[in-house]
């Protein structure tokens, strides 16, 4: 074997090791799209609660029965749209990378993310039942961040940073109650767009 073959061989082994242990089919562009859905959702939420008249008195209080339901449906709609987009675009990217989307690594990643996500989801439902609405925005940010940090072991290291920033925002949201929507605009909107753009530029 000559030297070029050897170097090529070692490089090949390296890429196989990485491919087998990291799930790299997550699409950066889907991050950008998710961020935009979140911004759009936040716009509708703002409109419902504060109206369009600029900086005036709010028309409704978040705790009004109808408003809560409207906001919950809006949030679930954005969530469903985001999940759908991520899965669809990951599938497409996996096809391009000739990687299976359902492999040991993606399974391990989802398993790692499942515990923080389920805990956060259940906790939020308990808060809804008990009427602790002020805590919901922060809780979801924190547990989403924890899930990202846990799953990041299996994918791009940028996901870890996204997770840490989401956790930080969630903690800040607890310190500044009443600004939950704005923390969501930054956490689910802007951060996703920036993260998605970085991943797209760096890896695609």
Partner 1 sequence: MDLSLYNKVFENRLRLQIMGVLLANEDYDFSSLKELLEATDGNLASNLKTLEKEGYITVEKSFVDRKPHTRYRKTTKGQKAFADHLTALENLIKQQYK
Contact 170, 154 (CB under 8 A): no
Q: Give CA–CA dist 77/142, Å, rounded.
A: 20
Give the nearer residue to partner 1 in terms of CB position, either 59 or 103: 103
* Shortest distance (Å) from residue 111 CB to partner 1: 13
d(CA 95, CA 90): 8
Residue (6 or 87) nearer to partner 1, CB = 6
- CB nearer to partner 1: pick between 18 and 204: 18
Q: Which of 104, 176, 178, 202 is in the footprint of partner 1 by CB under 8 A?
A: 104
- Least Å from the CB of residue 6 to partner 1: 5
Contact segment (CB under 8 A) with partner 1 among 17-25, 36-44, 127-135, 138-146 equals 17-25
Q: How far is C-alpha 138 from the geometric centre of its chain's CA atoms?
A: 14
Through-space distance between the first and last CA atoms of the chain, rounded to whole angstroms: 33
Question: Is the CB of 19 or the CB of 60 nearer to partner 1?
Answer: 19
Residue of 11, 17, 95, 132 that binds partner 1 (CB under 8 A) = 17
- Torsion region of 2: left, alpha or beta (phi above 0 gives left; psi -120 to 50 gives alpha): beta
Task: Report in angstroms the alpha-carbon separations of 161 from 21, 41, 51, 75, 164.
Answer: 19, 24, 35, 24, 5
Q: Using CB under 8 A as the criterion, which residues of the chain lie in contact with partner 1 when the complex forms?
A: 1-3, 6-7, 9-10, 12-14, 16-21, 100, 103-105
């Amino acid at each position: 074997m000559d030297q070029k073959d050897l170097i090529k061989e070692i490089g090949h082994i390296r890429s196989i090791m990485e491919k087998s242990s990291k799930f790299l089919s997550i699409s950066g562009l889907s991050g950008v799209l998710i961020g935009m859905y979140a911004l759009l959702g936040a716009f509708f939420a703002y409109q419902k609660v504060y109206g369009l008249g600029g900086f005036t008195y709010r028309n409704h209080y978040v705790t009004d029965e109808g408003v809560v339901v409207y906001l919950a449906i809006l949030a679930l709609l954005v969530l469903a749209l985001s999940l759908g987009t991520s899965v669809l675009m990951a599938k497409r990217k996996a096809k391009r990378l000739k990687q299976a989307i359902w492999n040991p690594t993606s399974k391990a990643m989802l398993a790692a993310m499942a515990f923080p996500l389920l805990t956060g989801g259940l906790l939020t439902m308990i808060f809804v039942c008990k009427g602790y609405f002020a805590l919901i925005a922060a809780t979801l940010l924190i547990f989403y961040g924890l899930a990202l940090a846990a799953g990041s072991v299996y994918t791009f290291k940028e996901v870890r940073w996204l997770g840490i920033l989401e956790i930080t925002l969630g903690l800040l949201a607890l310190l500044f109650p009443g600004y939950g929507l704005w923390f969501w605009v930054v956490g689910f909107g802007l951060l996703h767009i920036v993260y998605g753009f970085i991943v797209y530029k760096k890896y695609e």
